[in-house]
Amino acid sequence: MSFTEKDSRDGSIGAQKANNNAHSLDKRRRAALAEIDNAKFSWFHVKVCLVAGAGFFTDAYDIFAINIASTMLGYVYGTGSPLNKSGQKLNKRQDLGVKVATPVGTLVGQLLFGWLADVVGRKRMYGVELMIIIIGTFAQALSGGGHAVGIIGVLVVWRFLMGIGIGGDYPLSAVISSEFASTRIRGRMMTAVFAAQGWGNLSAFSTYSKYFTMRILVVIPAAALVALIITVAFKNSILNDPSVDNPRHVDYMWRILIGLGCVPGCIALYFRLTIPETPRFTMDIERNVAQASADIDNVVINGQLTVNPDAAVQRSDAPKASWADFREHFSQWKNLKILIGTAWSWFALDVAFYGLGLNSSIVLQAIGFGTPLTKGTQLVYRNLKNIAVGNLILSAGGLLPGYYFTFLFIDRWGRKPIQLMGFILLTIIFIVMGFGYDKLTANPAAKKGFVVLYCFANFFQNFGPNTTTFLPETKNKSLEELSNEDQDNFVTGHSEPVKGQYEA
């Protein structure tokens, strides 16, 4: 036998072995994915909900606490007569700046961290973005001004940087939760995670029954509740402030309100840094099928992470997805219409969700809800207290029930029916609120009706598109398809808060 024939035969044998190995790894990959999809609910799923939910809570608290804090900032750094009906307040540019800076930052963060998560991994980025949020939040509480730069400008910069971290947390939490969730509980599990976001005021803690058939949400309207507690705690200090046009104790209040947003982030940081890499990333990006299979057995099934540093690494030789694959996938109308539909749904929702959420205090004052009849420091205290109480009513009357109903029905009715129902009813409610605004605010009884409609709007935002547009279904999808779709939906949808705030 010639050397050429021998080399050819050896090459054929080597190619056959490589093909057999690739086929074996592909079978293991499919079996591992099926194991995730069919896994029973375990403590590890609870941990994922808590870790991701804590991040969503931090995001929402930091975004929407400015809704109440902006009124406090107005009393300290604003303009206007301290003796008039509304007191001092930020001018329109200042109010716009502190509220829109974070949504602008989220656009940058979603693009940056969405790309990094696909390159270096979900686990590595999951703690980094939370560190940015914590630093940005803490820096806001310590902000000061000077002759060159005013405090409002400093707050705008720090809120933009905080928004970059929040922009990374949103899609990462959704992708990580979906990649660990089994098919049977995916809707409820991800709704539980997203329930922590709420209206920017919600903290969700979860417990499960023995047979994993019932989930109990304990939800606290955090930002409004914290604002109310702080206001009541500083009552005597506010009333005894010598200067009505510059109540110095209110300066302490907004710093405490904003700064407390660091607490849940710091608690969640350790768990973010120790959560395992998702098996789907390990398989589809790192091509380490053996390690992913071991992680599934150890983490998803047994609830413990065990890493053997001496284990041999088997990597699949399948080519990685590229931008060409991305373009080819979405060049097909059946795939593109799903992306456009979900992204546009989120885009349309966020006009109202962020427009109302960031400006509910302004709306409450505009309709005269709980407007105090007093003057001086008594006006400051009463107005801040009424705003906090009004936000609590809006949360308890609409936002919280919306999450409960979604959790109960999302895996029974399906995502699409709930989303369509929510959009239809929201359209009707907003038409009534908009065209009937004058009559709905004409007298105290009519104002109560306006608040009821406001609560229904909050209810159907959550029992509707807010909890159904972000649910990525992972079955029969590659990791690149999943993460790219989710990132695109977040980026497109969350560009709307900027537009909505300008219009507000």
β-strand partners of 202: 221
* Whole-number pLDDT of residue 468: 79
Instruction: Give the model confidence (pLDDT) of 289-329 as tens digits.
Output: 677 677 676 666 555 544 444 444 455 555 566 778 778 88
Higher per-residue confidence, 243 vs 348: 348
Segment 390-409 shows an average pLDDT of 82
* Whole-number pLDDT of residue 260: 92
215 touches 208 (CB < 8 A): yes
Q: How far is CA 354 from CA 23, 31, 236, 346, 351, in A?
A: 49, 42, 34, 11, 6
Annotated domain spans of the chain:
31-503
- CA-to-CA distance for 54 and 57, rounded, in angstroms? 5
* Whole-number pLDDT of residue 298: 66
* Whole-number pLDDT of residue 371: 65
Grade residue 210 by pLDDT with cuts at 50, 70 and 90: very low
Structure tokens at 398: 């609409």
Higher per-residue confidence, 154 vs 19: 154
User: What's the burial of 205, exposed, middle or buried (CB within 10 Å: 0-12/13-18/19+)?
Assistant: middle
CATH 1.20.1250.20 fits 31-503, yes or no: yes
Instruction: Give the model confidence (pLDDT) of 101-120 as tens digits.
Output: 999 999 899 889 988 888 88
- Using a pLDDT cut of 70, give the percent of the chain over it: 70
- Using a pLDDT cut of 90, give the percent of the chain over it: 18
402 touches 459 (CB < 8 A): yes
* Whole-number pLDDT of residue 221: 58
Residue 333 has pLDDT above 80, yes or no: yes
Please report where in the chains the tokens 């809570």 appear, as a residue: 57
- CA-to-CA distance for 347 and 359, rounded, in angstroms? 18
280 touches 37 (CB < 8 A): no
- Kindly compute the dihedral angle of the four CA atoms of residues 451, 454, 455, 457, in this order, to the nearest 10 degrees: 160
**Mean pLDDT of the residues in the chain:** 75
* Whole-number pLDDT of residue 137: 95
* Whole-number pLDDT of residue 402: 85
Nearest to 102 by CA among 471, 384, 354: 354
Residue 347 has pLDDT above 80, yes or no: yes
Instruction: Give the model confidence (pLDDT) of 420-466 as tens digits.
Output: 999 999 999 999 999 998 888 888 888 888 888 998 998 999 898 88
Higher per-residue confidence, 310 vs 212: 310
Grade residue 208 by pLDDT with cuts at 50, 70 and 90: very low
Higher per-residue confidence, 185 vs 103: 103
Segment 82-105 shows an average pLDDT of 80
> Going by DSSP bridges, is the β-strand pair 215-221/202-208 parallel, antiparallel, or unpaired?
antiparallel
* Whole-number pLDDT of residue 15: 47
Instruction: Give the model confidence (pLDDT) of 27-48 as tens digits.
Output: 766 776 677 667 677 777 777 7
